[in-house]
Amino acid sequence: MKITRVSCQLIPPRWSLVRIETDEGIVGYGEPTLEGHARTAITCVEENAPLLIGEDPRRIEHLWQVLYRGAFYRGGPLLTSALSGIEQALWDIVGKYHGVPVYELLGGPCRDRIRMYRGVGGATPEAAAAAALAAKEQGFDCLKTGAADGACRLIDTPRIVDDAVARIAAMREAVGRDFDIAIDCHGRFSPAMALRFCDAVADLTPMFVEEPVLPENVDALAALTRKARVPIATGERLYTKWEFREVLEKCELAVVQPDLSHAGGISESKKIAALAEAWYVALAPHCPLGPVALAACLQVDACCPNFLVQEHTPDALGKGYLRQPLVVENGHIALPTGPGLGIELDEEAIAAMPSHDWLTPQLRHADGSVADW
């Protein structure tokens, strides 16, 4: 089997697709989306196409090495997002070639269904409690909420943390203690504010506190994890096993969150999960992207023993994109049974979709200076 064509498309609301065709008629899909840079990422995929044409798509590990190591410049969000999308498409092809889901080729399933969470917000404690209760009534036993709605100064007034505690306490009160609440700080806090925040929410027993500080300085995160009394998660802005090695060795982490469209793809995320397993750290793949990225996550979730929970958005279930959208039932998605990534794209509907030029929103402090988003 040989790769004959590599093509890309931007699809709304902010995603992208790579389509890899073969001389045996098998077609694979991947999602190389880098949010806010989707056009740049698909250009990077197209630059790599000459290295793929004529190659056997079953040599996934070899082609990963060709694209990653052969490029000389390596890693980072752009190159590994392009590589991730390509790698997902190769797995889709190989699964379809063998007629089995990808997880069957990665050791087989180690669970019967996949636990999901959804993002839940609310501007006031009352609204947050109602939204949390609605998620519980839909069958979820887990949600994630944001730590802060707006910009946070390096040292801010007590109000930001007070408001967050009031909202999350109302959620905890509404859903009870047989329910998990994760909190995403989105890298908005300085280490000092992050420690104040982690201290304030510790008694609400969060499942994890995510990205309490920004990812560039691993030592800053390491110092925080030694002081915080809550489980700490990070990883959506880390790329490849090499970056995860450093956070796992330096930080007292509880959860790693590789993004299968950024960290290097399916095999690389399985390797990252195995590194985490050696530290008794859980896997909760990041996925605010589309149905192809989510389908890739489900394949890895199925076969990693340390899987904890899977992020998704309602759009990612694929209504309008997939012939049979994914279904969340009682807070879980059933093990996919279809070959490859286990989904069938509605190719006609997707071909007719408009392009997009989605840009990452900007956040400003009150004095006009740039705030971390």
Residues labelled catalytic:
186, 286
Q: Closer to Mg ion at the Cβ: 113 or 237?
A: 237
Unique residue bearing structure tokens 């109302």: 170
Pairing of strands 332-334, 113-119: antiparallel
Nearest-angstrom CA–CA distance, 115 and 283: 12
Nearest-angstrom CA–CA distance, 124 and 319: 31
**Position closest to Mg ion via CB:** 184
Smallest distance, Mg ion to C-beta of residue 312, A: 13
Q: Establish if 259 lies at the interface with Mg ion (CB under 5 A).
A: no
Q: Establish if 184 lies at the interface with Mg ion (CB under 5 A).
A: yes
The DSSP result for 4-26, as a single string, is EEEEEEEETTTEEEEEEEETTS-
Smallest distance, Mg ion to C-beta of residue 186, A: 6
Q: Burial level of 113, CB count in 10 A (0-12/13-18/19+)?
A: middle
Q: Which stretch binds Mg ion (CB under 5 A): 20-28, 103-111, 184-192, 306-314?
A: 184-192
Task: Report H helices in 217-290.
Answer: 218-227, 240-250, 266-278
Q: Total number of residues binding Mg ion (CB under 5 A)?
A: 2
CA 51 to chain CA centroid, nearest Å: 27
Q: Closer to Mg ion at the Cβ: 346 or 372?
A: 372
Contact letters (x/-) for Mg ion, 139-178, by CB under 5 A?
----------------------------------------
Smallest distance, Mg ion to C-beta of residue 286, A: 6
Smallest distance, Mg ion to C-beta of residue 187, A: 8
Q: Closer to Mg ion at the Cβ: 11 or 209?
A: 209
Cα Rg of the chain, angstroms: 20
Nearest-angstrom CA–CA distance, 279 and 281: 5
Contact 293, 315 (CB under 8 A): no
Contact letters (x/-) for Mg ion, 214-253, by CB under 5 A?
----------------------x-----------------
Closest by CA position to 310, among listed 286, 326, 341: 286
Nearest-angstrom CA–CA distance, 255 and 307: 9
Smallest distance, Mg ion to C-beta of residue 373, A: 11
Q: Closer to Mg ion at the Cβ: 156 or 236?
A: 236
Q: Establish if 21 lies at the interface with Mg ion (CB under 5 A).
A: no
Contact letters (x/-) for Mg ion, 338-357, by CB under 5 A?
--------------------
Tokens of 267: 């095999």
Q: Closer to Mg ion at the Cβ: 21 or 184?
A: 184
Contacting positions for Mg ion (CB under 5 A): 184, 236
